[in-house]
């Protein structure tokens, strides 16, 4: 297997100011294509240690992927050190120069001198174009090893990994004719990890030596990942589909119907396919459900809009929730959730209305309605209902879980 | 300075299945007491690599803090490897044994044989009591270095770090009379990294040898972090305030006014302090601005609600945007942004209204209005205005940048 190590560069990671999400993300992407991750190493903006790190990692790895230290400011040391490490010199790269100028022009800003210095790149490297920023990525082939240097800004780095680095690694794997690992992931929704595990039972009964089943829970739902090893990808695919049959037999109700689509995208596809429209009414989530739905490009085909009613005033005046309902049952109640969902559907003249009203916390809980209590309402042309959920004590996790639970309720109605 | 490295052990970290929050948390705690973090290294459940890692880290560190691999199952390799590494043997520890029995008794569960094996510990180590689980922590003093092994379960690990490891490290620092490092971070908004760097100029003009200035950009804004070294914390504090004066002299306009508060919290504090209220009108962000504001607990003090108007229909019917305005100037225009902001303020009867309308992408751009074009409107009781921004081509980054740019516009008005 192709051996990959990840080297994160920056004081902010080293001193613990920033969580190293880059290393985890890169490791996940590299694991998906069947490479083996040897190490993650993080080092501060320190020349000697960065050089030591390169020397250490290259002993056991075929590929070293570096992130960080590529900005235009003086604390960014990666480029000068790679220059020294590979006894290289800087050359002017016109494509990078044009990219930087274009970057500033598009934003109607003056090009800064510092930024232009990024057009100077080591002569031995292959440049990775930065579509989202000004620091180019760099690839060096030296000593039969691959050294990749990427910006530390997550979205710039991710774009480069997906479009440039992963294809390069796949070519390396093919070149070496090594055994490969392949993974397949299933998105589930509406079932906790432990219940899913009970349905699936002991995976050793249907997996062979070296095959893996992993449970990956998040607020969106639990993903299941199967991993198999084989001499090539098509052998792996065959084995994966054998395992899939067994797995789906146990949990098909909870596996999302469209391959490789998470819950939000699934709901969007279902709405689009059925030509149904949607409006939302949000209290404790404050717009998060609308933001999640509109994170999917093309949401305007089915999403008309909604009301953020963070006050009782807004609930009554903007959503016509009956004042009596609020007085008698409270804002966090079945009655209010139903009125919100039904009224937003009628006001926006859509097929479906969803509402969320709850106590996100950390304050505002009572013995009857503890922090984490959320009512989710769903109104269609035939019926309106609301369900109560009790999540946890963390404000933002409660809000996220409310959003994905609401989407799961809509998904269930849409696949009925 | 006392040099600390962190070694995380476990396949789940290495393959990127789990984010390494332990390393970040430990680094933060160790930095607070003035140690220097040399490396974070993560390695899978692999004997040879773990031994190589120890050898590598001890070359440059006084202390190695390991987490993970201490469970009772066969994939937990840390204890046997440390035993081999220090040529040690296992001895029965009665305190650990009693702790394990107590742990199971409290939970009304049978003590498992596997768990009891955890009462066997290396003879050379000092045991760290596990108050929350069954795997004891271990401290070895060997070769004038400190090796600490902790469980990977975050809450067990954290309890041990706070109550045992940090006190040990403080004693080491005192014993060696070494210097400490202290950091201070400034949140800025509304200015890109390169422009900030130009305003600040060459930091070597006001920083001494060993002092650092780091730029940490994100969609929320750029954070600036100064690091200084001194014989104790009060010496560092003095020096930090000297540097602060110089720095604020250059960039005070862009530094957020409340210490340690990021942009969203700053805006919330300012609104609360000035007893002003807010409503939002969102098109391309679909509720993200409202979600961001309500991520702060207590937002109901000033945030009333808002309109998600993802369609022209919703803009005219729910926000009274003039149909002529939409026809003549389009939904993404100064005129529409102003009407949205002003009308949402009036409809919700608040002091301020913010609007966002733009082309988030990836589709929908035109030569005149390319993807990334966003108009942000702000309406107060005295005036209403809108500004155009051109971000990039990534849908979700454009949306995030729109949200934080809108908050920055409001901040500017609030501090005027």
Contact B291 A288 (CB under 8 A): yes
CATH code of the domain in which B405 resides: 3.90.950.20
CA distance A76 to A45: 7
Helix (H, G, I), strand (E, B) or coil at A102: helix
Determine the distance from the C-alpha atom of residue B7 to the mean position of all C-alpha atoms in its chain, rounded to a whole number: 20
What is the pLDDT confidence band of residue A230, given thresholds at 50, 70 and 90?
Answer: confident
Burial A298-334 (b: 16+ CB within 10 A, else e): ebbebbbbbbbbbbbebbbbbbebeeebbeebbbbbb
Number of inter-chain CB pairs under 8 A, A vs B: 294
In total, how many domains does chain A have?
A: 3
pLDDT of res. A149: 97
A217, A400 Cβ separation under 8 angstroms:
no
B354, B278 Cβ separation under 8 angstroms:
yes
From B176, B210, B240, the end of a domain falls on B176
* Rounded to 5°, angle at Cα A338 from A334 and A342: 175
Same-domain status, B244 and B322: no
Q: Which residues of B fall within a CB distance of 8 Å from A300?
A: 310-311
Q: Which of B171, B245, B378, B290 is nearest to A310 (CA)?
A: B290
Q: A210 in contact with B at a CB cutoff of 8 Å?
A: no
Residue B232 has which token pair?
A: 């104790």
pLDDT of res. B87: 96
pLDDT of res. B12: 83
Mean pLDDT of chain A: 92
pLDDT higher than 90, residue A414: yes
Residues 6+ apart with CB under 8 A from B406: B289, B354, B356, B376, B378
How many CA atoms, within 13 angstroms, populate the side-chain half-sphere of residue A271? 28
- The DSSP call for residue B355 is E
CATH code of the domain in which A191 resides: 3.30.70.2860
Cβ neighbourhood burial of B370 (10 Å; 0-12, 13-18, 19+)? middle
pLDDT of res. B190: 93
Q: How many helices, marked H, and strands, marked E, lie in chain A?
A: 16, 16
CA distance A318 to A304: 16
From A224, which residue of chain B is nearest by alpha-carbon distance? Answer: B17
Any idea of the CA torsion for A16, A18, A22, A27, to the nearest 10 degrees? 30
From B114, B149, B176, the end of a domain falls on B176
How many CA atoms, within 13 angstroms, populate the side-chain half-sphere of residue A97? 8
pLDDT digits (tens, 9 = 90+) for A332-369: 999 999 999 999 999 999 999 999 999 998 889 998 99
To which H or E segment does residue A407 belong? helix A395-415
- The DSSP call for residue A3 is E
CA distance B374 to B284: 9
Q: Which residues of A fall within a CB distance of 8 Å from B236?
A: none
What is the DSSP annotation of B180-202? EEEEEEEEB-SS-HHHHHHHH--
Give the strand pairing for A137-142 and A145-150. Answer: antiparallel
Same-domain status, B250 and B310: no
Task: Work out whether the CA dihedral A153, A158, A163, A169 comes out positive or negative.
Answer: positive
Burial A337-354 (b: 16+ CB within 10 A, else e): bbbbbbbbbebbebbbbb
**Is the link from the previous residue into A405 a cis peptide, with omega within 30 of 0?**
no
What percentage of chain A exceeds 70 in pLDDT? 99
Residue of B75, B184, B287, B347 for testing the chain A interface, max A β-carbons within 10 Å:
B287
pLDDT higher than 90, residue A316: yes
Residues 319-348 of chain A with CB under 8 A from chain B are 347-348
CA distance B403 to B410: 11
pLDDT higher than 70, residue A266: yes
- Each residue's pLDDT, cut to its tens digit, for chain B (416 residues) gives 899 999 999 888 998 888 899 999 999 999 888 889 999 999 998 999 999 999 999 999 999 999 998 876 666 789 999 999 999 999 999 999 999 888 888 777 778 777 788 899 999 999 999 988 888 999 999 989 999 999 988 888 999 999 999 999 988 887 876 777 788 989 999 998 889 999 999 999 999 988 988 888 888 899 898 989 888 889 999 999 999 999 999 999 999 999 889 999 999 999 999 999 999 999 999 999 999 999 999 999 999 999 999 999 999 999 999 999 999 999 999 999 999 999 999 999 999 999 999 999 988 999 999 999 999 999 999 999 999 999 987 898 899 999 999 999 999 999 98
To which H or E segment does residue A149 belong? strand A145-150
Q: Which residues of B fall within a CB distance of 8 Å from A310?
A: 290, 294, 299-300, 303-305
Same-domain status, B163 and B269: no
Q: How far is A385 from chain B (nearest CA, A)?
A: 23
CA distance B416 to B411: 9
Q: Which residues of B fall within a CB distance of 8 Å from A20?
A: 19-20, 23-24, 40
Q: Which of A219, A152, A185 is nearest to A12 (CA)?
A: A152
Task: Work out whether the CA dihedral A245, A247, A252, A255 comes out positive or negative.
Answer: negative
Same-domain status, A284 and A367: yes
R_g of chain A, CA atoms, integer Å:
26
Residue A56 has which token pair?
A: 């250490």
Same-domain status, B85 and B189: no
Residue A228 has which token pair?
A: 């198999």
What is the pLDDT confidence band of residue A192, given thresholds at 50, 70 and 90?
Answer: confident
Give the strand pairing for A120-122 and A90-92. Answer: antiparallel
Residue B237 has which token pair?
A: 């504090």
CA distance B261 to B264: 8
From B286, which residue of chain A is nearest by alpha-carbon distance? Answer: A291
Residues 6+ apart with CB under 8 A from A175: none
From B185, which residue of chain A is nearest by alpha-carbon distance? Answer: A17
B112, B101 Cβ separation under 8 angstroms:
no
Q: Which of A215, A220, A212, A213 is nearest to A194 (CA)?
A: A215
CA distance B165 to B147: 11
Q: How far is A133 from chain B (nearest CA, A)?
A: 9
CA distance B361 to B333: 16
Beta carbons within 10 angstroms of residue B110's beta carbon: 9
Same-domain status, B385 and B296: yes
CA distance A141 to A371: 55
What is the pLDDT confidence band of residue A331, given thresholds at 50, 70 and 90?
Answer: very high
CA distance A44 to A77: 10
pLDDT of res. B73: 65
CA distance A81 to A51: 8
CA distance A81 to A61: 19
B177, B92 Cβ separation under 8 angstroms:
no
pLDDT digits (tens, 9 = 90+) for A103-144: 888 888 888 888 888 999 999 999 999 988 889 999 999 989
Residue A161 has which token pair?
A: 């990994």
CA B1 to each of CA B34, B177, B182: distance values in angstroms, whole numbers, following the listed order: 8, 9, 12
Contact B294 A303 (CB under 8 A): no
Same-domain status, B169 and B214: no
Any idea of the CA torsion for A246, A251, A254, A256, to the nearest 10 degrees? 0
Q: Which residues of B fall within a CB distance of 8 Å from A355?
A: none
Same-domain status, A13 and A152: yes
- The DSSP call for residue B362 is S
pLDDT higher than 80, residue A194: no
Mean pLDDT of A14-43: 92
From B196, which residue of chain A is nearest by alpha-carbon distance? Answer: A73
pLDDT of res. B74: 61
CA distance A169 to A4: 9
Helix (H, G, I), strand (E, B) or coil at A256: coil
Q: Which residues of A fall within a CB distance of 8 Å from B300?
A: 310-311
From A176, A202, A218, the end of a domain falls on A176
Residue of B14, B31, B374 for testing the chain A interface, max A β-carbons within 10 Å:
B14
Mean pLDDT of A240-268: 94
Q: Which of A15, A115, A305 sits opposite B311 (nearest CB)?
A: A305
Start-to-end Cα distance in chain B = 44
Residue of B13, B15, B318 for testing the chain A interface, max A β-carbons within 10 Å:
B15
Q: Which of B24, B297, B391 sits opposite A363 (nearest CB)?
A: B297
pLDDT of res. A107: 81
| pTM for the model | 0.78
Q: A273 in contact with B at a CB cutoff of 8 Å?
A: no
pLDDT higher than 80, residue A214: no
Same-domain status, A40 and A54: yes
Beta carbons within 10 angstroms of residue A51's beta carbon: 15
The torsion angles phi and psi of A50, rounded to 5 degrees, stand at -65, -40
pLDDT of res. A177: 64
Residue B40 has which token pair?
A: 């974070």
Beta carbons within 10 angstroms of residue A228's beta carbon: 22
Same-domain status, A277 and A353: yes
Domain range spanning residue A334? 263-415
CA B186 to each of CA A154, B102, B247: distance values in angstroms, whole numbers, following the listed order: 21, 47, 10
Q: Would you tell me the crossing angle of helices A233-251 and A193-200 to the nearest 10 degrees?
A: 100
Helix (H, G, I), strand (E, B) or coil at A294: coil
Same-domain status, B192 and B98: no
Contact B39 A37 (CB under 8 A): no
CATH code of the domain in which A80 resides: 3.40.980.10
B18, B153 Cβ separation under 8 angstroms:
no
Helix (H, G, I), strand (E, B) or coil at A182: strand
CA distance B245 to B305: 40
From B18, which residue of chain A is nearest by alpha-carbon distance? Answer: A24
Same-domain status, A84 and A151: yes
Residues 6+ apart with CB under 8 A from A86: A122, A124, A140, A142
**Residue B65 β-bridge partners:** B6, B148
């Amino acid at each position: 297997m192709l051996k990959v190590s990840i080297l994160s560069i920056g004081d902010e990671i080293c001193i613990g100011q920033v969580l190293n999400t880059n290393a985890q993300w890169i490791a996940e992407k590299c694991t998906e294509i069947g490479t083996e991750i040897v190490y993650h190493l993080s080092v501060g903006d320190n020349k000697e240690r960065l050089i030591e790190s390169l020397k250490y990692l290259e002993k056991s790895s075929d590929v070293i992927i570096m992130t960080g230290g590529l900005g235009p400011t003086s604390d960014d040391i990666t480029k000068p050190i790679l220059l020294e490490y590979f006894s290289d010199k800087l050359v002017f790269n016109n494509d990078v120069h044009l990219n930087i100028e274009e970057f500033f022009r598009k934003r109607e800003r003056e090009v800064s001198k510092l930024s232009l210095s990024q057009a100077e790149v080591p002569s031995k490297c292959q440049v990775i174009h930065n579509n989202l920023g000004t620091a180019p990525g760099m690839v060096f082939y030296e000593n039969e090893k691959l050294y990749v240097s990427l910006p530390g800004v997550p979205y710039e780095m991710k774009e480069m990994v997906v479009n440039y680095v992963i294809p390069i690694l796949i070519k390396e794997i093919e070149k070496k004719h090594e055994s490969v690992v392949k993974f397949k992931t299933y998105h589930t929704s509406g079932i906790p990890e432990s219940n899913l595990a009970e349905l699936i039972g002991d995976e050793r009964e249907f997996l062979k030596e070296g095959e893996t089943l992993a449970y990956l829970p998040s607020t969106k739902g639990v993903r299941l990942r199967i991993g198999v090893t084989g001499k090539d990808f098509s052998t792996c695919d065959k084995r994966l589909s054998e395992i899939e049959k067994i797995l789906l037999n146990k949990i098909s109700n909870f596996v999302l119907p469209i391959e490789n689509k998470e819950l939000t995208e699934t709901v969007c596809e279902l709405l689009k396919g059925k030509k149904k429209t949607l409006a939302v009414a949000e209290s404790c989530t404050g717009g998060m459900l609308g933001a999640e739905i509109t994170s999917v490009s093309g949401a305007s085909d089915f999403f008309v809009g909604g009301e953020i009613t963070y006050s009782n005033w807004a609930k009554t005046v903007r959503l016509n929730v009956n004042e009596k309902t609020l007085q008698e049952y409270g804002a966090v109640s079945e009655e209010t959730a139903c009125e919100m969902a039904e009224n937003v559907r009628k006001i926006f003249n859509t097929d479906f209305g969803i509402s969320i009203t709850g106590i996100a916390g950390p304050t505002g809980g009572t013995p009857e309605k503890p922090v984490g209590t959320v009512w989710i309402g769903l109104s269609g042309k035939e019926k309106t209902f609301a369900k109560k959920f009790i999540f946890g004590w963390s404000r933002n996790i409660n809000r996220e879980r409310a959003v994905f639970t609401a989407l799961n309720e809509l998904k269930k109605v849409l696949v009925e």
